[in-house]
Amino acid sequence: MRLLLILMSFLMPVVLVLPACSSTGIAIREKMGTPKREQLVDRVDETRDAQESAKEQFASTLDELKALSGYAGGELDSAYKRLSSQLERAQSRADKVRAKIKSVDRVSKALFAEWEDELEEYSTDSLRNASARQLDDTKFRFNEVIYAMRKAESKMEPVLAAFNDQVLFLKHNLNARAIASLDSTLLELESEIGLLIADMEASIAEANSFIDEMSGEQ
């Protein structure tokens, strides 16, 4: 028990510092000349690029799995290693997408909280009301964007799990029978990836529209 209390005394400051570090980073960038609105656009832009990269990698991993499914001979270990490498890259890019979405969410909360607070600073009702309407519109559009991002994000893990199952099975069964077994799950996996890619493309389109609107291009 004493040891547990000691460990908690070390861990609690770390847990408390993590959210503070995020808000501090936002504040530092603002002091350096990048307002929260622009930071939000930047984060959405980065998340869109991360999703584009992940989408391409998932498609590439599927192609590698298809190639292995039709493997006619040669060194099976080399084919397995290529598939394993593709899976690692897909996992890495999925992790990046998740991190970028969290970053978008943090900046949006900071922006909208500040905007809400500053509504009270207006002395002119018409300007306050106009700003409040703009805030509501921006929140509405942002919610559409973050929903699309999270919808696509939610489909990554099942696909990664299915890929991982295939890689694990092949790791210990590098033979023709194991390769043939891929055919039974390949169509289902291909369908799941098709849905994932469609959701990612929808999310990317929402992000592009939001970036244009926030940048005043529409």
> Within this chain, do residues 2 and 76 fall inside the same structural domain, yes or no?
no
Nearest-angstrom CA–CA distance, 67 and 111 = 47
Q: In this structure, how many other beta carbons lie within 10 angstroms of the beta carbon of residue 39? A: 21
Residues 162 and 55 in one domain: yes
Q: Residue 4 class from Cβ within 10 Å (0-12 exposed, 13-18 middle, 19+ buried)?
A: exposed
Distance (Å, whole) CA 126 – CA 19: 36
pLDDT of residue 78: 79
- Mean pLDDT on 149-175: 87
Statement to judge: residues 138 and 72 lie in one domain = yes
Contact 176, 16 (CB under 8 A): no
The span from the CA of 112 to the CA of 142, in Å, is 11
Counted residue by residue, the chain has a size of 218
Please count the other Cβ atoms lying within 10 Å of the Cβ belonging to residue 137.
11
83 & 144 share domain: yes
What percent of the chain is modeled with pLDDT above 90? 58
Q: Are 107 and 40 in contact (CB under 8 A)?
A: yes
Instruction: Choose among 139, 132, 131, 137: nearest CA to 105.
Output: 139
Kindly state whether residues 72 and 29 are assigned to the same domain.
no
Same domain, 79 and 149: yes
Rg over CA atoms, the chain: 23
Specify the pLDDT at position 82: 86
Judgement on whether residues 108 and 178 belong to the same structural domain of the protein:
yes
Same domain, yes or no, for 79 and 142?
yes
pLDDT of residue 189: 85
| Whether residues 143 and 77 fall in one domain | yes
Do 42 and 10 reside in the same domain of the chain?
no
Tell me the per-residue pLDDT of 118-129, one tens digit each, with 9 for 90 and over: 999 999 999 999
What pLDDT band is residue 4 in, cutting at 50, 70 and 90?
very low
Average pLDDT over residues 160-189: 77
CATH number for the domain including 81?
1.20.58
| Nearest by Cα to 42 from 109, 135, 108 | 108
What number is the average pLDDT over the span 14-38? 71
Average pLDDT over residues 171-200: 79
Query: How many independent structural domains does the chain possess?
Result: 2
Least confident of 60-64, 133-137, 166-170: 166-170
Per the prediction, the chain carries an average pLDDT of: 84
Q: Tell me phi and psi for residue 57, to 5 degrees.
A: -70, -40
Domain match, 155 and 188 both: yes
Domain that holds residue 154: 35-214
Residues 96, 144 within the same domain: yes
pLDDT digits (tens, 9 = 90+) for 76-101: 777 788 889 999 999 999 999 999 99
